[in-house]
Amino acid sequence: MPSCVSLLDQNREDAVARLVIVSNRVPLPSERGPRAGGLAVALADALRPGTLWFGWSGRHSGTVTQTPYVQSADSVTYATIDLSEHEYRTFYVHFSNGSLWPLLHFRLGLMGYRGEDFDGYLAVNRRFADALKTLLRPDDLIWVHDYHLFPLAEALRELGVANRIGFFLHTPFVPPALLQALPRADHLLQAMCAYDVVGFHTRTYRQAFLECVTEMLGARADHDGRFLYRGRPVHAIVDPIGIDPDRFAANAEDSARSMEVRLLRESLPGSRSLAIGVDRLDYSKGLANRFEGFARLLATRPEHRRQVSFLQVAARSREDIGDYQRLRRELDRVVGDINGRFSEFDWVPLRYMTRAVRRTTLAGFFRAARLGVVTPLRDGMNLVAKEYIAAQDPVDPGVLILSRFAGAADELTEALLVNPYDSDAIADAMHTALTMQPVERQERWRALRDKVWQNTASHYCEVFLSHLAADEVHPHSRRLRAV
């Protein structure tokens, strides 16, 4: 499979186009410790030498400089800027994570809005554009990621940047009735039309975007997702993200011999099964509903008591944000209630940790688990579902229980699909998985494995960049200058 860079080479006769990735947070090589977060993981798997990765350093303080801080590792250059305290609050805490994140996960009840936060959001995007422009070459291909940066292309265009610029949204996209609840949503939508390519995980999200574009901006797309807005051609594509399954499977196999996995297995005496959930601690992940589902299983089917232990790894994230602090308190209470109700002196049903675990160890934990429980209330894709499949032992694979509201459910149809709001349905799926015969487990797993090995991180990257690099034009538009 060609790498991102070799793919760019193939598409260009004259020079090698440099890939410039822009995301809110940059996973700096100097940062140690396990990281929880889908975007960093997926792009790390697809990253190739020569790339420039630009974004926020993660630091916020009183003094900020405009010149990016540049460092290199493994032939990748990382350039970052800091945010001021005010920028951090308005751009990151309030508008990105207090308005856009709940909206894009269909949680209008959690969506806050203040005009000054929107202004701060636009101002930070302009500052990103100013700083990035100083680093750009005319033939760079620019690939922007996620909802923090909807207006970045518009800001770059205002500075005269004519490069091809693509955008990929890692969350779901919402239909017009929901998007219009956000004040000034039309501005954001118009800004998205300054990109050449706009990518989504699923057809449903792309369809929602195109409906918004038609209803709110009056533009109409062809069957392939192409439309013109103010004379500019825009191409909306579907490109489901994946993982590096070979590497993850190898990690899982190696890590099965590690001390952590050995200790985990030893903590499951006799024929006791392990169910596992791994998520960032986020209200979109449906953790309370999942735990209620597990409690329903123990309450309605007592034969599973003592026979199954649930391990939930919920790495803390966005801890400065009120909704996340409240979620943590709620989960502490729910876990305490369930363990208080069902624990025996030598068996605790629900093991709950809010610390991140090393990636290789996670892979080994997945392999040790008979059930992978992935039940977000909404999720753009959900990489954990794919990692769980990649980690399984082909001879004795576990069963994936998957929310029908995760983007991954579009592909992984052989999982046990559930409504994550329905604790009875989660309990039933757990019972089905715990009693499933090996032949059915193997059949389902083989079908899922084929899909995970088909849509990999590398394939995702290749598809997006082939659209971005291609000098394709809408039949009704003037030809674009080749980048």
**Where does this chain bind ligand GDG (CB under 6 A)?**
34-39, 41-42, 170-171, 241, 278, 280, 313, 315, 356-359, 362, 379-384, 387
Q: Which of residues 163 and 382 has its CB atom nearest to ligand GDG in the complex?
A: 382
Q: Which residues of 362-372 are buried (b: 16+ CB within 10 A; e: fewer)?
A: bbbbbbbbbbb
Which one of the listed residues 279, 379, 428, 467 is annotated catalytic? Answer: 379
- Closer residue to ligand GDG in complex, CB, 24/309: 24
CB of 90 to ligand GDG, least distance (A): 22
As measured in angstroms, the least distance from the Cβ of 177 to ligand GDG is 22
Least distance (Å) from ligand GDG to the CB of residue 363? 9
Distances (CA, A) of 443 to 183, 399, 453, 466: 48, 11, 16, 34
Query: Which residue, 12 or 316, is less far from ligand GDG as judged by CB?
Result: 316
Catalytic residue, from 170, 201, 235, 467: name it.
170
Structure tokens at 114: 């203040």
The residue with its CB nearest to ligand GDG is 38
Q: Strands (DSSP E) along 201-349, which ranges?
A: 226-229, 232-238, 273-280, 308-315
Query: 430: left (phi > 0), else alpha (psi -120 to 50), else beta?
Result: alpha
Question: What does the block give as tokens for 447?
Answer: 């079908």
Contact 372, 201 (CB under 8 A): no
Min CB(351)–ligand GDG separation in Å: 14
Nearest CB to ligand GDG, comparing residues 44 and 268: 44
Burial class (CB in 10 A: 0-12, 13-18, 19+), 107: middle
- Least distance to ligand GDG from the beta carbon of 412, Å? 12
Give the nearer residue to ligand GDG in terms of CB position, either 60 or 170. Answer: 170
SS (H, E, C) 223-243: CCCEEEECCEEEEEEECCCCC
Residue type, 377: L
Question: Reading across the β-sheet that carries 308-315, which strands appear in turn?
Answer: 350-353, 308-315, 273-280, 371-374, 399-403, 416-418
CA distance 191 to 38: 25
Q: Active site includes 170?
A: yes
Positions annotated as catalytic residues are 170, 379
